[in-house]
Amino acid sequence: MSASDSPILSVVMPVYNEIATIHEILEQVLASPEVLEVVVVDDGSQDGTRDVLAEISDERVRVVLHPHNRGKGAAVRTGFAEARGDVVVVQDADLEYDPAEYPVLLDPIRAGVADAVYGSRFLAGPSRVLYYKHRLGNGFLTFLSNLATDLNLTDMETCYKAVRREILQSLDLTQERFGIEPELTAKLARAGARIYEVPVSYRGRTYAEGKKIGWRDGVKALWCIWKYGVLHR
Name the pTM for this structure. Answer: 0.88
pLDDT tens per residue across span 5-20: 678 999 999 999 999 9
Going by C-beta distance under 8 Å and a sequence separation of 6 or more, which residues neighbour residue 103? 34
pLDDT tens per residue across span 33-83: 999 999 999 999 999 999 999 999 999 999 999 999 999 999 999 999 999
How high is the pLDDT of residue 209? 47
- Residues of the chain scoring pLDDT < 50: 2, 129, 207, 209-210
How high is the pLDDT of residue 215? 53
Show the domains of the chain with their CATH numbers.
9-231 (3.90.550.10)
How high is the pLDDT of residue 34? 96
